[in-house]
Amino acid sequence: MTDLPARRLLLVHAHPDDESINNGATMARYAAEGALVTLVTCTLGEEGEVIPPELAHLAPDRDDTLGPHRAGELAAAMAALGVTDHRFLGGAGRYRDSGMMGAPQNDRPAAFWQAGLDEAAAHLVAVIREVRPQVLIAYDPNGGYGHPDHIQAHRVAMRGAELAAQADFRPDLGASFAIGKIYWNCNPRSVVEEGFARLRAAGRAFPGVASVDDVPGVVPDAEVTASITVRAEHAAAKSAAMRAHATQIAVDGPFFALSNDLGQPLFATEHYRLVHGVRGAADGEREDDLFAGVAGTSGSTATAGSARNEEAAT
Ligand SMILES: [Zn+2]
């Protein structure tokens, strides 16, 4: 524990690729600044649709080997982002991709959608108590767009944060730890609309164009509390990480498409809503650092020594 970096960021995602699409630039920035960036992915994404025809045999109705393949894609994406701590909730293959809402795969006993909440959250509690993150990034209660695994990932993240702070919950999983700030992923409506205008002006990069309603977590601009801007190299790392998820994402410059072939803007600036903790920016202003206001973490040169002081003081 004493060897932990001063700043520690935890992200909880449903499938390999969600982290790069939602938070790739943020992850690259904080990893480069020396923060510990820990990614917990809840399923292997076994039920995803496969884009490259030559990999179609991986699909669940054929070889059913998409899960291990996507674990490899995730490892490559993390290398692109400079993130070394990535784990699967309960270990790889513990929970299976539940498929889209209403699909028969929702009802499989191994599906993440069927997981007992506290049982699944306990796996996250162990991670939280080990890495003691000051900041957690999760989905909103709708999971951004209603996918059962994203909704469940939201529930597990919030419940895990709650249980990790309770000293009498599973003391065998480590000393209790309270996460200081919790953010939900979001996209400000004006930015998404502007992105689609750019995409339409750029011409036909993809067979079709998605709509604002296809983008997860679109909220009124006023609800956004943090906008994380990054250097060009971190934006490039996000693009490279998305390309590493080749079964799921086709990237073309500042745009990308999922398996529906509908183009979307690729955002280098990522946005968040603070839902727990104290905002580190003046009223009416957005934070530009998720650790803003967290004691002992100012600047990228903060040391483990100051982290110990902070922990001793709380
Ligand atoms: Zn997903």
Burial (CB < 10 A; 0-12, 13-18, 19+), residue 243, is middle
Task: State how far the Cα of 128 lies from the Cα of 153, in Å rounded to an integer.
Answer: 15
What pLDDT is recorded for position 205? 75
What pLDDT is recorded for position 129? 98
Predicted TM-score (pTM) of the model is 0.94
Ligand 1 centroid vs 99 CA: distance in angstroms? Answer: 10
Ligand 1 centroid vs 64 CA: distance in angstroms? Answer: 18
Task: State how far the Cα of 56 lies from the Cα of 44, in Å rounded to an integer.
Answer: 17
What pLDDT is recorded for position 306? 40
What residue has token string 């699967």? Answer: 88
Task: State how far the Cα of 63 lies from the Cα of 57, in Å rounded to an integer.
Answer: 6
| Residue 97 near residue 15, CB atoms below 8 Å | yes
Q: Closest Cα to residue 21, out of 276, 268, 304, 247?
A: 268
pLDDT along the chain (314 residues), means of 10: 88 98 98 98 98 97 98 98 98 98 97 98 98 98 96 98 98 98 98 96 87 95 97 98 98 95 96 97 95 79 39 38
What pLDDT is recorded for position 203? 81
Q: Describe the strand order of the beta sheet including 208-209 as a list of residue ranges.
A: 208-209, 262-265, 255-257, 250-252
Domain boundaries, the chain: 8-187+217-237+268-276
Cβ-based neighbours of 215, under 8 Å, separated by 6 or more: 187, 192, 264
Ligand 1 centroid vs 77 CA: distance in angstroms? Answer: 15
The answer to whether 15 is annotated as binding is yes
What pLDDT is recorded for position 43? 98
Ligand 1 centroid vs 2 CA: distance in angstroms? Answer: 34
Superfamily of domain 8-187+217-237+268-276: LmbE-like (3.40.50.10320)
